[in-house]
Amino acid sequence: MTKTELEQAEQDPDLIALSRQFKATAMELISVLEQKQKTVSRTKVLLDTVPVYRLADIFVASFEISFEEQLSMLDSVDLKVRLSKATELVDRHLQSILVAEKITQKVEGQLSKSQKEFLLRQQMRAIKEELGDNDDDEDDVVALERKMQTAGMPANIWKHAQRELRRLRKMQPQQPGYSSSRAYLELLADLPWQKVSEERELDLRAAKESLDRDHYGLTKVKQRIIEYLAVRKLKPDARGPVLCFVGPPGVGKTSLASSIAKALNRKFIRISLGGVKDEADIRGHRRTYIGSMPGRLIDGLKRVSVSNPVMLLDEIDKTGSDVRGDPASALLEVLDPEQNKTFNDHYLNVPFDLSKVIFVATANRMQPIPPPLLDRMEVIELPGYTPEEKLRIAMKHLIPRVLEQHGLSSAYLQIPEAMVRLIIERYTREAGVRNLERNLASLARAAAVKVAEQANTLRLGKEIQPITTTLLDSRLADGGEVEMEVIPMGHDISNTYENPSPMIVDEAMLEKVLGPPRFDDGEAADRVASPGVSVGLVWTSFGGEVQFVEATAMAGKGDLHLTGQLGDVIKESAQLALTWVRARAADLNLSPTSDINLLESRDIHIHFPAGAVPKDGPSAGVTLVTSLVSLFSNRKVRADTAMTGEMTLRGLVLPVGGVKDKVLAAHRYGIKRVILPERNLKDLTEVPSPILSGMEILLVKRIEEVLGHAFEDGCPLRSRSKL
Ligand code: ADP
C-alpha cells in the first residue's frame, strides 16, 4: 500500500471501528496472558505504538493456526477483511485460553483436596502404627473377605463378589458408595448359600403325637399334614403342593405351620405379607436406588441363615397390587418349583436357589387370592371353633401356657371350667381363640399381682419393693380393657413364694378384671324389637358373623337409600329385593290391590349396621326381602331366627358359601333357628353335631318359605297359587 492509500484508509470509519474492536480483543488477550507471563507487558506497549494492520499481522503470526487459515490470511489484501479475520482469530484464542483456565482451576481444586486427604490419611496411618493401633477398616474388610470365603457361594457368584470386594478396597470409607457396597457384600456373605439344617429321619408317629399335643381337635387338618409329611419322607425332593391354611384369625394356622417345621426339624420363619403392595417388598429394590434393600424373602433367609427353612407366607390374601407392581406375580415365581431355583432378587442381582425352602401359606379368605396363585397351593380350610371346642382348647392348652408365661401355676390360680365357659359366652364372640387367650392372660396378670403382693406381706424382706394394694385395686377397678401383650415374668413365682391357698376365679373376679360382660344372648331380641329389622348371617375374614339389616320408610319420592359401606353386589341385591317385594305387594298383603305403588310418596332407607365395616356379596338377598316385608307389613321378625341365601329375581333361593362359619356365628349369638338354602344341605355335615342338635335348621327353596319361617305367624301370603 502506498502511504497516501494508507492515510486514506485510516480515515475510513469502518476501519476505525474495526481497529478499535481488534485492539480491545487484543488487549483482553494480553491481560489474560499477563497473569501468566510477565514478558507480555512489552506487547502491551506494542499495542499503543505499532499501526493496527501491522499489529494484526504480528498477532496472527504468533498463533498456531491451520494452513488454510494462514493461506486465507495471506490472501486477504484488503485491510478491513484482514483486520476482521485477525479479530476473529484473537478472540478464538482468548476464549480457548479462558475455557482451559476454568477447567484447570476445577481440576486443581479437586486434586488438591484428594491429595490433602490422602496425605492426612497417610499421616494418620503412620500415627496409628506408631501407637500400635490396628487399622479397623482394613481389618473389617479382611474379616468380611474371610466370611465370604466360608459362605459357600457358587463359583460364578464368588467371582461377582470378588469383583465387588475389589471395588470396595479401592474406596475410602467416607466415599458415598462405600457403605452400600459393604452392606451388599455383608448380605452375600450372610446368605445361606449352602447351609442347611440337618433333616433327621422323619418319625411320623412322633410328628403325629407332637401335632396332637399342641393342637386340640382339627382332626382332618392334622391328617392332611401327616399325609404331607409322609410324602416328603418317601420322596424328600418331591415337588409337593404348597399348603395354604385358610381360616379366621386365631384358629391355629401359624402354630400348625410351626409344628410342621418342628416335625421336620427345620427352622421356621414367618414372612408377613399383609398390606404388601409393592413388588419390591418381595423382590427387593435395585441397588441404584438410595436406601435399597433386599426383598422380604431374601431378608428372611438371611435371618434364619439356613437355605431349607419352613417359610410361612402369612396373610397371602392381603397382598394387593398398584402402580408399584404386582407382588402376587412375584410370589408366583417364588412358589413355582420350575422357577424358584434361580430366584432373582433385584437387590441381590444374582440368582438364589429357593427350591429347598418349604413354603406354607396362610390366608383369612380364599376369594382375594389371585387364581394363578391359588392354583399353586393346596387349600386346607380351618373354620372357627365351637364353644365346646374352645373350652377344651382353653383347658388343655391355653390356661397351662398362660400360667407358665406369667410365672404362675395351678397352685396359685385356678380357672374352673364354668368360668371359662362364661368368658367364652360373655367376653368373646370370635371364631378363633385369640381373645379368649387374651382374657385368660388378663386374669393371670391380676393373679400375679395378688400373689406377689401376698408373698410380699408374708415373707419378703426389705430388698424387694413392696407392691401396694392400691395397685391391684386400681387395676381391677378399670377392668374391661384387655391388653394384647403378655409379659413373661422371667422367673417362676412359685419358686420364690409359698402360697397358702390357690386363687379360684369366680364370677365376681371375672367382672372385676374383665369388666361387665360384653355380649349377651338378648342382643338379637333387642335389635329386632321394631318392624323392618331382620337377622342375617354373613361371612367375613374373621369368620361367620351375625349381620342385622335395618329398613325404614319416610316421606319422599320413591328413592332407595343404602348405607353401611356396601359393595356393588350387595347394592344390587337390595334393588332386587325391593323389586321383588313391590312386584308381590298384593300377594304379600302389603297393599290391597296389585296396581298400588308401595313407594308412593315415600323413600326407603336400608342400613347395614357396623357402618364402618365394608360389606359385599350376594348372600344378604333373603335377609333384605325379609326386612322389607317386615317394614311394609309392620310386623316384627322373629328374634330367634337368622338367615342367609342369595335370591334370584324370580324368588328362588340359591346356595351360599361359609355355611359352617355362619351356623357357628348364629350359635354364638344364641340364635336357635337358621334358615338356609336347601342346596346347602351338604355343608351341614361340617357343623359339629352338638351345635346342630341344639338348633333348628330350616332348609328352603323359595323366598316365600323364608318369609314363612321368619315371622311368628307364617308368611303373610294371600294366595300361593299365584306365585
Ligand atoms: P392364626 O395364625 O390362625 O391367626 P395362631 O396360630 O396364632 O392363629 O393361634 C392363636 C393362638 O391360639 C395360638 O396361641 C395357638 O396356639 C392357639 N390355638 C389355636 N387353635 C388351637 C388348637 N386347636 N389347639 C390348641 N391351641 C390352639
Residue-wise DSSP of 4-54: HHHHHHHH-HHHHHHHHHHHHHHHHHHHHHHTT-TTHHHHHHHHHHS-HHH
**For 372-390, what is the mean pLDDT?**
86
Q: Count other C-beta atoms under 10 Å from residue 64's C-beta.
A: 7
Is the pLDDT reported for residue 491 higher than 60? Answer: no
Provide the 8-state DSSP code for 677: E
- Residue 276 CA to ligand 1 centre (angstroms): 24
Phi first, then psi: what are they for 647, rounded to 5°? -120, 140
What is the pLDDT confidence band of residue 675, given thresholds at 50, 70 and 90? very high
Q: Among 244, 316, 397, which is best to mutate for testing ligand 1, by the most ligand atoms less than 8 A from CB?
A: 397
Query: Are β-strands 602-607 and 696-700 bridged in parallel, bridged antiparallel, or unpaired?
Result: unpaired
Q: Closest Cα partner for 698 from 662, 647, 644, 629?
A: 644
Question: What is the C-alpha to C-alpha distance for residues 571 and 617, in angstroms, rounded to an integer?
Answer: 9
**Cell (9 digits) for 392:** 377344651
**pLDDT tens, position by position, 63-99:** 778 888 888 888 888 888 888 888 888 888 888 888 8
**pLDDT tens, position by position, 650-659:** 889 999 988 8
Residue nearest to ligand 1 atom 10, measured at CA: 250
- Residue 461 CA to ligand 1 centre (angstroms): 41
Question: Measured in Å, how far apart are the chain's first and last C-alpha atoms?
Answer: 125
Q: Count other C-beta atoms under 10 Å from residue 408's C-beta.
A: 24
Is the pLDDT reported for residue 131 higher than 80? Answer: no
Higher pLDDT, 113 or 217: 217
327 CB near ligand 1 (under 6 Å): no
| Model pLDDT, residue 66 | 84
Out of 115-119, 292-296, 299-303, 592-596, least confident range: 592-596
Report the alpha-carbon angle 499-505-510, nearest 5.
135
Is the pLDDT reported for residue 601 higher than 90? Answer: no
Q: Closest Cα partner for 321 from 366, 275, 374, 286?
A: 275
Binding-site residue positions:
247-254
| Model pLDDT, residue 717 | 65
543 CB near ligand 1 (under 6 Å): no
CB 303 within 8 A of CB 261: no
- Residue 398 CA to ligand 1 centre (angstroms): 9
- Residue 214 CA to ligand 1 centre (angstroms): 9
| Model pLDDT, residue 360 | 93
- Distances in Å between the Cα of 12 and the Cα atoms of 8, 19, 183, 363, 370 are 7, 11, 76, 96, 89
Provide CB contacts within 8 A for 527, sequence distance 6+: 533, 535, 548, 639
| Model pLDDT, residue 482 | 40
| Model pLDDT, residue 465 | 46
**pLDDT tens, position by position, 510-528:** 888 888 888 766 666 677 7
**pLDDT tens, position by position, 220-246:** 889 999 998 888 888 877 777 889 999
312 CB near ligand 1 (under 6 Å): no
Provide CB contacts within 8 A for 355, sequence distance 6+: 337, 340, 341
Q: Closest Cα partner for 364 from 489, 498, 233, 540?
A: 540
Is the pLDDT reported for residue 413 higher than 80? Answer: yes
Is the pLDDT reported for residue 490 higher than 70? Answer: no
- Residue 311 CA to ligand 1 centre (angstroms): 18
Note if 258 is an active site residue: no
Higher pLDDT, 466 or 426: 426
Is the pLDDT reported for residue 477 higher than 50? Answer: no
255 CB near ligand 1 (under 6 Å): yes
Note if 662 is an active site residue: yes
Atom of ligand 1 nearest to the CA of 401: 14
- Given CA atoms 687, 689, 694, 696 in this order, what sign does their dihedral have? positive
**For 293-298, what is the mean pLDDT?**
91
Q: Out of 259, 307, 619, 630, which one is annotated catalytic?
A: 619
Residue length of the chain: 723
Question: What is the C-alpha to C-alpha distance for residues 565 and 607, in angstroms, rounded to an integer?
Answer: 9
CB 624 within 8 A of CB 569: no
What is the pLDDT confidence band of residue 723, given thresholds at 50, 70 and 90? very low
438 CB near ligand 1 (under 6 Å): no
Out of 447-456, 556-565, 648-657, least confident range: 447-456
Binding-site residue positions for ATP:
247-254
